[in-house]
A and B are shown apart, each in its own frame.
Chain A
Amino acid sequence: MAKIKYIEFNGTEHEADVANGLSVMEGAIQNDIPGIDADCGGGMSCATCHVYINDDEWFKKLPEKEMGEDDMLDQAFEPKSNSRLSCQLIVSDDLDGLTVHMPEKQV
């Protein structure tokens, strides 16, 4: 279990306890947290669960991107070097305290 903080583009903060094994994306969807669309349902094929990891320490701590994630991020709204697809971030105790920022929109 990990406590994940989701911050919308407008600054609204949401916190959710997400069970191990779920993705950070699923944590948002199951808790009705707005700002993550996840159109494809976690198949890494739509780039609408895009988040920023603003804390550099956290960004480095996360499991590395697998092949294909950066390709999808090319298509996301305003991708940056600290962008991730939240469907690829699988929750474990190690992710307790992670904060993700949502982009202005998911397109």
Chain B
Amino acid sequence: MIKTDVVIIGAGPTGLFCAHQLGIIGLKCEIVDNLDRIGGQCIELYPDKPIYDIPAVPECTGEELTNNLIEQIKPFNFNFHLSDRVQQLKNENNKWLVKTLNGKEFETPNVVIAGGVGSFEPRKFPTKSAEKYDGKSVLYSIKDKTIFKDKSVVIFGGGDSALDWAIELSNLSKVTLVHRRDEFRGAPASVQKIKELSDNKTIDLITKHSIKDVKGNGSLESVEIKSETGESKVLKADYVLGFFGLIMQLGPIAEWGLNLDKKTIPVNTENFETNKKGIFAIGDICTYPGKLKLILSGFHEGALAARGCFKYARPDEKYRFEFTTASSTIKDRLGVKK
């Protein structure tokens, strides 16, 4: 059990800057994120895309913004818990008990939800029948490629993951790559390689088709694919792999008894607290009249939520507003020489 002042859910720009603000006012926090790296949507959706509306930064990429935010909170040595997801929030004696998917437990008076539009999960096949084999022979990520040795593997998708795995597994397995159109969005070199492998019959390449059904008797036997005009084909398959990128799912957040408005959490704009005492929501996931889904709004929200957390983390102390330019206490916390 880790005791802390605040658990932040989400390591995107909003969560990171909120952590900074907590550090500045002398609070400790632990940061949990479902992704395997820090940065949230900035790093997952647009690491290379320039952003033009960060105050005083005329232009930066999602990756640069993330790196700068990480640099900014370094002095505080906060712990990150990546590739993990908060599953459960339970209130006990005015504290929140927080449990993660990987079995970590925190005790904290404050939880800040900076979860964007939820956690990133792989997009799955739309076919109901695929659910039965999910995690066994229908897979959306690969942990151990040796299971595919000498097997028939049908891969769906047109991006880098699909192409890279088709190339990688072509030495090991009988690979069929199925994509909905003739163009691929993967790296040009990979697309070229796929075409070579298809020309020399190392892999089967089928375009303008998508999945229709998977069939088996206990274990997976085949996958049926269809063209847009409705013709279908059946391919023998021991494994079916789908690489359709990631989708954001609200996930367990929906089950914590918070008021929800569509996929967002209403908050008050004084401290961004939700309908539950000690649970705050900031960034894209929160809503209030006039809400703008901008990174700069998330920064503001994080700063105010941090002050809201102070009240519950230090009930016997009075919060004192200080400037970073003038306060020696803050400079100590930042580890800068005076």
Interface of A toward B, CB cutoff 8 Å:
37, 39-41, 43, 45-48, 70-71, 74-75, 77-81, 104-105, 107
Select the residue from A77, A105, A107 with max chain B CB neighbours within 10 A: A107
Contact B247 A46 (CB under 8 A): yes
Contact B210 A78 (CB under 8 A): yes
Beta-carbon contacts under 8 Å, B82-118 to A: 117
Contact A39 B157 (CB under 8 A): no
Interchain CB contact (< 8 A) of A39 among B46, B179, B244, B263: B263
Q: Name the B residues within 8 Å of A41 (CB-CB).
A: 284, 293
Known: A46-B248, A78-B210. A71 touches B293 (CB 8 A): no
Complex Cα gap A43–B247 (Å): 14
Known: A74-B157, A107-B126. A39 touches B117 (CB 8 A): yes
Contact B126 A74 (CB under 8 A): no
Q: Name the B residues within 8 Å of A40 (CB-CB).
A: 41, 45, 117
Q: Mark B277-315, 1 if CB is under 8 A from A, else 0.
A: 000000010000000010000000000000000000000
Q: How large is the interface on B (under 10, 10 to 19, 20 to 34, 35 or more residues)?
A: 20 to 34
Q: Mark B112-131, 1 if CB is under 8 A from A, else 0.
A: 00000100000110100000
Contact A71 B46 (CB under 8 A): no
Interchain CB contact (< 8 A) of A71 among B185, B210, B248: B185
Complex Cα gap A107–B123 (Å): 7
Contact B183 A70 (CB under 8 A): yes
Contact B247 A80 (CB under 8 A): no
Q: Name the B residues within 8 Å of A43 (CB-CB).
A: 45-46
Q: Name the B residues within 8 Å of A45 (CB-CB).
A: 41, 45-46
Complex Cα gap A45–B179 (Å): 20
Query: Looking across the interface, which residue of chain A has its beta carbon closest to that of B284?
Result: A41
Interface of B toward A, CB cutoff 8 Å:
41, 45-46, 117, 123-124, 126, 157-159, 179-181, 183, 185, 210, 228, 244-245, 247-248, 263, 284, 293
Query: Looking across the interface, which residue of chain A has its beta carbon closest to that of B45?
Result: A45
Interchain CB contact (< 8 A) of A77 among B126, B157, B181: B126
Known: A39-B263, A71-B159. A107 touches B247 (CB 8 A): yes
Q: Name the A residues within 8 Å of B124 (CB-CB).
A: 107
Known: A80-B228, A81-B181. 11 other contacts (CB 8 A): A39-B248, A40-B117, A43-B45, A43-B46, A45-B41, A48-B247, A70-B181, A70-B183, A71-B185, A74-B244, A74-B245
> Could you tell me the distance in whole angstroms from the C-beta of A81 to the nearest C-beta in chain B?
6
Complex Cα gap A68–B165 (Å): 22
Query: Looking across the interface, which residue of chain B has its beta carbon closest to that of A41?
Result: B293
Q: Name the A residues within 8 Å of B183 (CB-CB).
A: 70
Complex Cα gap A55–B96 (Å): 54
Complex Cα gap A100–B123 (Å): 24
> Could you tell me the distance in whole angstroms from the C-beta of A80 to the nearest C-beta in chain B?
5
> Could you tell me the distance in whole angstroms from the C-beta of B285 to the nearest C-beta in chain A?
11
> Could you tell me the distance in whole angstroms from the C-beta of B169 to the nearest C-beta in chain A?
20
> Could you tell me the distance in whole angstroms from the C-beta of A101 to the nearest C-beta in chain B?
15
Q: Name the A residues within 8 Å of B293 (CB-CB).
A: 41
Complex Cα gap A106–B245 (Å): 14
Complex Cα gap A107–B125 (Å): 10
Query: Looking across the interface, which residue of chain A has its beta carbon closest to that of B262?
Result: A37
Complex Cα gap A74–B126 (Å): 13
Complex Cα gap A37–B249 (Å): 12
Q: Name the A residues within 8 Å of B117 (CB-CB).
A: 39-40, 46
Select the residue from B124, B126, B183 with max chain A CB neighbours within 10 A: B126
Q: Name the A residues within 8 Å of B244 (CB-CB).
A: 74-75
Complex Cα gap A75–B180 (Å): 10
> Could you tell me the distance in whole angstroms from the C-beta of A29 to the nearest C-beta in chain B?
9
**Sample of 20 A–B contacts (CB below 8 Å):** A39-B117, A39-B247, A40-B41, A43-B46, A45-B41, A45-B46, A46-B247, A48-B247, A71-B185, A74-B159, A74-B179, A74-B180, A74-B185, A74-B245, A75-B247, A77-B126, A78-B210, A81-B181, A107-B124, A107-B126
Q: Name the B residues within 8 Å of A107 (CB-CB).
A: 123-124, 126, 247
Q: Name the B residues within 8 Å of A37 (CB-CB).
A: 263
> Could you tell me the distance in whole angstroms from the C-beta of A42 to the nearest C-beta in chain B?
9
